[in-house]
Amino acid sequence: MKDSIKLITVALGAGIVASVITQCWDQPREAAMQQVSNSYQEPMAREVFSNNSAYAEEGHVLPKNGFVEASRKSLNSVVYIKTYVQGRAVSSWYEYFMRGGGGSGYQGVGSGSGVIYSTDGFIVTNNHVIEGSDKIEVIHQKRTYEAKVIGTDPSTDLAVLKVEGRGMPNVEIATSRDLPVGAYVLAVGNPFNLTSTVTAGIVSAKGRQIHVNKGSFPLESFIQTDAAINPGNSGGALVDIRGRLVGINSAILSQTGSYAGYGFAVPSDIVTKVVDDLIKYGEVQKAFFGGTVVDVNEKIVKELGLKAYDGVALADVQANGAAKKAGLKVGDIILDIDGLSIDSQAEFEEMISYRSPGDDIRLTYKRAGKIQNTHLELTNIDGKTGIVKKEVYADRELGAAFERVPTVERDMLEIDHGVRVIEIGRGWFRRLGISEGFVITDINGIPIKDPEQLVDMLSKIRGRVIIEGVTANGRRGYYRFYF
């Protein structure tokens, strides 16, 4: 049974999308992203609309003036973002005039959109819009601001910027959970450098997974819309007909890189959780369930003798995770979380994403035909419930940066220890051919448990060296060198 469900999990993950999924950036980035620590104030309190009769009746009925009011409100809260990498400074007047050289030494590489999240200048955009940039400019109402990166989350493709502004027109936010399929929505952004552009459509589907997000634990539960989204729209707003944010536009389904019928947006409920965490902690405080679920399909129904396709099937339980401590087992069918029904893997992962480590959730599940209930305490990536701060250890001589692999990832990779290579810059480490994301577990048979130990060994070792480890997808490998 366990092997069968695991096989289904692998098969689902290996599915090939017929069309190319394209994130809406203009040009590739080449330089490493500049991370900026922060001590800014916590995000200001905001009203979030819940599922009530007024919202249900009025929130999706097209007003007499169509999309005019929604466009007016949302356009003021959307900004234009330009990104640059450090280039070669000009060396002569000839180069300045004849080759367009600039004294700053920066070269423009891309553009996108962003949404003003708070009146004091916090802005949310896509991670892929600003990834790899050395300088970021935000243009709002013809005024240009230089932006700092407060935090990024590749797993949701979100990033938070900060500009020195006061009294900025922040967007009003609605809860995406109440947004029904078929509702009118507007996409607001700057496609093809055409600033302040609005397109209209409907919500075509919810809970879409299109396999474009990065990170160790990618989270995808996109809102699908047929509102036209093109390169440059990334990071812009998806709003309802009252001008309230319901999503951040992130990707398009296209074989050409331009709009071909469907776009995808990160739901606003995920956005608020991620952005608030990045502003407050500099790192998303992701909650972990301690297991993996898959959609209930025909094969699982037959295997488990089920009478319905409700819920999601528990395909894997981590050795020391929260699910195991709560008494859950492989093959259990999870029906609801805190009384809210679950119908898909994407929906399950989205509902967990709203929570924080230490939160207690109530689960209803089915085992051997019997309905049961349990409580589960969600954990952080280290299997605990405290605040997680990402610690990066960089060594200038090696020209690389490393981080310790947390408990949850070690369990998934089935390793007891390891150090991940997270960035490779200029230095002799680049010559080793080890790729970013590779987890080094042993050097010459000696277990590597923290970055400091790894750097110390590589700095002193001489002669033959064998570096063992695993890739992000769990494939084991080794590198052989002579120092």
CB of 427 closer than 8 Å to CB of 398: yes
Instruction: Indicate if 120 belongs to the active site.
Output: no
CB of 44 closer than 8 Å to CB of 156: no
Exactly one of 234, 250, 268, 353 is catalytic; which is it? 234
Tokens 């049974």 locate to 1
Task: Give first-to-last CA distance, the chain, whole Å.
Answer: 48
Q: 270 by DSSP, 3-state: which? A: helix
- Rounded Cα distance between 46 and 278, Å, is 16
- Rounded Cα distance between 116 and 166, Å, is 11
Question: Which stretch of DSSP H or E encloses residue 370?
Answer: strand 370-377
CB of 159 closer than 8 Å to CB of 124: yes
Question: Which stretch of DSSP H or E encloses residue 245?
Answer: strand 245-253
The closest alpha carbon to 126, from 277, 20, 264, belongs to 264
Residues 415-436 as b or e (16 or more Cβ within 10 Å = b):
bebbbbbbbbeeeebeebebee
CB of 122 closer than 8 Å to CB of 65: no
The closest alpha carbon to 347, from 334, 356, 360, 329, belongs to 334
Q: 120 by DSSP, 3-state: which? A: coil
- Rounded Cα distance between 395 and 313, Å, is 44
Exactly one of 26, 120, 153, 157 is catalytic; which is it? 157
Instruction: Indicate if 356 belongs to the active site.
Output: no
**3-class DSSP string for 301-355:** HHHHCCCCCCCEEEEEECCCCHHHHCCCCCCCEEEEECCEECCCHHHHHHHHHCC
Report CA torsion sign: 148, 34, 85, 274: negative
The closest alpha carbon to 130, from 107, 106, 114, 116, belongs to 114
Q: How far are the Cα atoms of 353, 382, 415, 434 from residue 330, in angstroms, in the given order? A: 22, 22, 21, 36
Exactly one of 26, 74, 128, 353 is catalytic; which is it? 128
Strands 48-49 and 173-174: parallel
Instruction: Indicate if 74 belongs to the active site.
Output: no
Q: Annotated active-site positions, please?
A: 128, 157, 234
